[in-house]
Amino acid sequence: MTLDAITLSVIEAGLQQVCDEMDLAFSRAAFSPVIAEANDRSDGIYSAVDGSLIAQGLGGLPVFVGVMQYSTARLIEMIADGRCLPPEEGDVYIVNDPYLGGTHLMDVRFAMPVWRGGRIWCWLSNTGHWPDIGGAVPGGFSASATAVEQEGLRLPPVKLFKRGRMDPEIHAIIASNIRVADQRIGDIRAQAAALEVGKERLTQLLDRYGDTIVEAAIAELRRRAAAQMRAQIAAMPGGIWRGEAIVDSDGVVDAPLTIALAVEKRGDGLVFDFSGSSAPCAGPMNSVLATTLSSVYLAVRHIFPDVPLSAGAFEPLTVTGYEGTFLDAKYPRPVSGCAAEVSQRIAEAVFSAMVKALPARVTAAPAGTSGNFGLGGFDPEAGRNFVMYQLSGGGYGGAIGQDGLTNGCSTIGISKSPPVEIMEQNFPVLYRRYALREGSGGAGTSRGGFGLSYELELLRGDARASFVMDHGRVGPQGAAGGADGAVNRVEVWRGGQRHVPPHLSKEQDIELAAGDRVRVDTPGGGGYGDPKKRDRAMVREDVRLGYYSAEDAERLFGPF
């Protein structure tokens, strides 16, 4: 079937709008600040045949693109071979098993079939970061877990909603295994409602244009996305480019982990070979395969953002060499740092390699950590337990002719830090500091953006703090002669005594009392190009704005 360009464009925009409305409904209805304010969630449309991506909301986390594609494919396989009950109209499956196409346990996925004419036409799926999923520590970020069972409740694909009604027994099992369970019901219903919104909007689109025409448009959009990605790759120079990224430690063994990457252009495709990366680790900094693949995809999306987002865009990309490394975790390896931290090191390795091939397109390394900080305890004034999850931004890397973005979101997503006012309203904390981290950007012809510096105080009650962050050992890499960005720093002040985690930015179960404080300084981005070649007027402006002291500016950039 031949489609005219206008109809194709309208259907493409319509599919995108379906996903965007799901994103919006999810955030507006959710109870948890991490979803309602930080938008740590994503929604998409997936093929009924193989689970491949059809469309995803622009406001969703890019790391979930490949993950939900992989997860939907596994669900389809498990239904086909009888490991999952077959779907009926109104059913919604829930799953968070990392080894079945997931990330970490806190990222909970819902999947719902959309029926047309007695057959499943597609799947709608979404992922939301739940602030707690049980396990050893509030918030799920167990820095020293050695098995996935210590990280929380692991759910295979089961029907949470059956024919449109929530299964009370499945819900009871979930509620009995997580903290502040009474607050999760709001997130559960928000997540399911987002899928219903998507079904309604998608049905309207199909009714307007007809199933056959929309199916033809989807196939054509996938073909065009693949063709555009191949065209971008074909225009690259030939060669093999190598990159590397370092994970501080796994939280258990205090030694760095290495991601070794070789990127080779083969015709109009790229091969990403991770051979030589570190072996599976004891602690929670392992990555499951779905996240490893998705991390490569999102890194390439950063480099070629104009290629339409569909499964076709990933077809020219081949990922190899992950077998036997910590980038292909198998049960029961712990994985709480998988999506939020290891994924960003994978992307950094891609940037490190590709900047050599495409210096005008690729930046120096961004901050590359989500700054996962969990705080759980009892609020005596409110008379209830609480679990607080804080994520934070950092500096982006410099690029040719452009300084890095300051306090940008993480590499893997566009989720934002929840507003301080919302956090103080919901939890017994007071932010004593929330400021730009001056001087943290790596020096360069184009300097890196600056990280964030915040400090909060526990106002009342007792609590336990846990951290799973990264880039505390080495800062984000500079490129083309630029300097690395500043490292991540964590300090805990208890009874006036300063405590620094032995693993720099990973530790769990730090006991806090009223008046104790936590301070976090997030990394700045790497610099791009020789710092001595930075425009002198720009150096003077940085000093005037207080980004650098005059002494530091002269040391980093030379006389100005």
Write the pLDDT tens digit of every residue in 246-294.
999 999 999 999 999 999 999 999 999 999 999 999 999 999 999 999 9
Return the pLDDT at 201.
98
- What percent of the chain has pLDDT above 90? 94
Contacts of 162 by beta carbon, 8 Å cutoff, 6+ apart: 88, 90, 91
Report CA 236 to chain centroid distance, whole Å: 28
Let me know: does 153 contact 135? Beta carbons within 8 Å. yes
Return the pLDDT at 1.
67
pLDDT of residue 528 exceeding 70: yes
For the record, the structure tokens of 332 come out as 């029961």
What pLDDT band is residue 9 in, cutting at 50, 70 and 90?
very high
Tens of pLDDT along 113-127?
999 999 999 999 999
Closest to 469 (Cα-Cα) out of 396, 527, 389:
389
Q: What is the pTM of this model?
A: 0.96
- What percent of the chain has pLDDT above 70? 100
Q: What is the phi/psi pair of residue 261, to 5°?
A: -135, 135
Strands, E assignment, 503-546: 506-513, 517-521
Tens of pLDDT along 137-152?
999 999 999 999 999 9
At 242, the amino acid letter reads R
Query: Whose structure tokens read 């689970």?
Result: 51
Return the pLDDT at 62.
82
Return the pLDDT at 309.
87
Mean pLDDT over residues 543-557, rounded?
Answer: 96
Mean pLDDT over residues 9-32, rounded?
Answer: 96
Closest to 98 (Cα-Cα) out of 127, 59, 139:
127
